[in-house]
Structure 1
Amino acid sequence: MSHDQQNQPGIASSSSFSNSIMSHDQQNQPGIVSNPDGTYTRLIQLPSTPATPDRNTHSPVLSKDLPLNPKNQTWLRIYLPKQALDKPSTTPNLMLNLPVIVYFHGSGFVFTSAASTINHDFCVKLAADLSAVIVSVDYRLAPEHRLPAAYEDAVETLQWLKTTQERWLTQFCDFSCCFLMGTSAGANIAYHAGLRATQVIDDLRPLKIKGLILHHPFFGGSERVRSELGLIKDPFLTLSGTDFMWELSLPIGSDRDHEYCNPTVGSGSSQLQQIQLAGWQVLVTGCNDDPLIDRQMEFANMLKEKGLRTVTHFGEDHHGIELFVESKAKDLFVILQNFITSS
């Protein structure tokens, strides 16, 4: 099904996503079921929002959809702050030097899309508050496409960016100021895409990555850590839910200490040295009531021990709170602005 067919009118309330996930979990329903023909049916249906490329819209941000890989049915949603179009230009094709943020949505590698209202609304706020161009990636989902499919789509997006003739990007972006950002599973994708990008840095020019923004990164491991042992009660993310997502997304036959899931196994990836040499900064954010908090802290400590320029911010509340509560999002955007400026 194409993203146009998935678009539904209406705006989701901030709690509709978490309520949908929780209702299935409480009823011991997985939210997705396999069919005899090998396909899958997602029981959780969430509202979607169409792109708004018309500058007469009341939104402070314009958006448009562009294909990435038609064969894989992947695509991108680009967000441009409307103020960029309103700035006077006496020089044709004047570059306004807006940073570009490549964004990967969350939902355990299994649910939602770049068009899902919860992700669309977050990207609109992100573009408006940071005065940045956002490239939101609609990557292939598991279990139809297990990891590393999403990582491959992420790197393909970077290759697309370096050659695109899309005006919103060529005229308004500073390609030497690019950040990879993701939320939850999307942060996992941003991290692994970053590792892969270090192997082709020269090939990506003029695109230059300055850093990774890992917002509540979704990591795991075979051995339970303290925050996963029921000591933390997150109203959104459950331990059984994380188990189920990893079961659907990891390569068949892999355990939870696979590098895709556990980035600290074996003292971390050998590619981390390349991130250090490239001078990238890494921001890791999390919340104290998230069952993943201990893994996020362990991951951040590993980066620091390896000499990477690492910034951390661990606050109060639960997993993905900034997608649901606007005041929390505002606080996050201040942190992101400082991080981008310092990079």
Structure 2
Amino acid sequence: MNPSNDPYAYLGFTKNSDASITRIPGHIPTTAASIDPANPVLTKDLPINPQTNTWARLYYPSAATKLPVIVYYHGGGFVLCSAASSMFHNFLSGIALSIPALVVSVDYRLAPEHRLPAAYDDCAEALRWVNASEDEWLTGRADMYIMGTSAGGNIAYHVGLKEAARMKIRGLILHHPFFGGVERSASEMRLVDDAVLPASVADLMWSLALPIGCDRDHEFCNPVEVEIVEKVKVLVTGCGGDPLIDRQKEVARMLAENGVDVIQEFSEGGCHGVELFDESKALVFYELLKNFLSTCIID
């Protein structure tokens, strides 16, 4: 399927007559949590807020102790996927084992049923939940980091910078973060019909996620100002085959110009979120992440 021809079908949506959507069951594979001791990484699901039905999946490398905590926000353009989606489950299992780290993957409310800032609110609440939790995997934890992929990278940006001024967060990892704007960037024009994230799909995601009446120059999509947070390091990663690379580089530049300690790692080729699909690329990313975390522990 050419996603540009029918972005609704590409995302696994059926468009209803009232402009709402229906998600096609099973469009995105999921994986159940497991505490089978034969697994090198144990996983379990815990509720965060029963009123909003938010929850988190925890990844615990069974042979490790005194672990750093990575609070992770999944991708999906704010409109699809969950903390149970197989591609994120596999990716985070690798992170938990390779670093090693305790990973807390947050399942937040999706648009268009819950437009932004609902996801930001849920993910900020999740940070407070992690800090207050008495779960045995979370007590006695070490330093905290915030990470997100694609839309999750956007959430990590908006939530992480704000919360870093209120609580001790060592670093932010913006992995292929999802940003946009009304005027196409050069990379968006060059890859307008990209096989993974064509412009038509990104446009649909933003139209479903942004507050009613807002365009893609809204600050949620196209941030133009940033709070100065001097005590947190930020890693921004992406690749040349991603239509969003120009947006990602611009946000990294803006952070650096505002006094934030930023590390930029942009590779050649690839595609949006390539490490979720290519194990060899994922292994390189795990080492990059491990090195980044090691630079954040010096006060």
TM tier relative to shorter chain: over 0.9
Contact 1:78 1:134 in 2 (8 A): yes
**Alignment pair present for 1:155 and 2:124:** yes
> Please, which of 42, 50, 55 is the counterpart of residue 62 of structure 1?
42
**Alignment pair present for 1:118 and 2:99:** no
Contact 2:3 2:195 in 1 (8 A): no
Q: Which residue of 1 aligns with 2:291?
A: 338
> Please, which of 6, 15, 23 is the counterpart of residue 42 of structure 1?
23
Contact 1:322 1:332 in 2 (8 A): yes
**Alignment pair present for 1:308 and 2:260:** yes
In the TM superposition, what are the counterparts of 1:238-257 in structure 2 within 5 Å?
A: 238-257=198-217
Distance 2:113 2:100 in 1: 36
Q: Which has the larger radius of gyration?
A: 1
CA 1:26–1:291: 2 relative to 1, 3 Å: closer
What displacement does 1:159 show?
0.9
Between 25-34 and 44-53, the greater mean CA deviation after superposition: 25-34
What displacement does 1:195 show?
2.9
Length, aligned pairs only: 291
What displacement does 1:297 show?
0.8
Q: Which residue of 1 aligns with 2:53?
A: 73
CA 1:33–1:232: 2 relative to 1, 3 Å: closer
What displacement does 1:33 show?
3.1
Gaps of 5+ in 1: 1-22, 85-95
**Alignment pair present for 1:51 and 2:51:** no
Q: Which amino acid aligns with 2:281?
A: K
> Please, which of 251, 257, 260 is the counterpart of residue 299 of structure 1?
251
What displacement does 1:97 show?
2.2
Distance 1:246 1:26 in 2: 15
Distance 1:332 1:98 in 2: 19
Q: Which residue of 2 aligns with 1:222?
A: 182
**Alignment pair present for 1:28 and 2:28:** no
Q: Which amino acid aligns with 1:338?
A: N
Q: Which amino acid aligns with 2:277?
A: F
Q: Which residue of 1 aligns with 2:138?
A: 169
Contact 1:78 1:136 in 2 (8 A): yes
Distance 1:140 1:210 in 2: 26
Contact 1:232 1:289 in 2 (8 A): no
What displacement does 1:162 show?
1.4
Q: Which residue of 2 aligns with 1:5?
A: none
Distance 1:38 1:233 in 2: 24
Q: Which residue of 2 aligns with 1:288?
A: 240
Distance 2:57 2:191 in 1: 38
Between 38-47 and 183-192, the greater mean CA deviation after superposition: 38-47
CA 1:307–1:236: 2 relative to 1, 3 Å: same
What displacement does 1:318 show?
1.0
Distance 2:18 2:204 in 1: 21
CA 1:34–1:70: 2 relative to 1, 3 Å: farther
Q: Tell me the SS of whatever aligns to 1:170.
A: coil
Contact 1:155 1:196 in 2 (8 A): no
**Alignment pair present for 1:260 and 2:260:** no
1:210-257 deviations in Å (ceiling 9; x for gaps): 110000000001111111113576331111111110000000111111
> Please, which of 128, 134, 154 is the counterpart of residue 97 of structure 2?
128
Contact 1:226 1:294 in 2 (8 A): yes
Note the aligned Cα RMSD (angstroms). 1.7
Distance 1:300 1:178 in 2: 21
What displacement does 1:63 show?
0.3
CA 1:185–1:231: 2 relative to 1, 3 Å: closer
State the identity as a percent.
52
Q: Which residue of 2 aligns with 1:82?
A: 62
> Please, which of 152, 167, 181 is the counterpart of residue 186 of structure 1?
152
Q: Which amino acid aligns with 2:220?
A: Y
In the TM superposition, what are the counterparts of 1:6-17 in structure 2 within 5 Å?
A: none
Gaps of 5+ in 2: none
What displacement does 1:35 show?
3.8
> Please, which of 70, 81, 106 is the counterpart of residue 137 of structure 1?
106
Q: Tell me the SS of whatever aligns to 1:78.
A: strand
Distance 1:183 1:160 in 2: 21
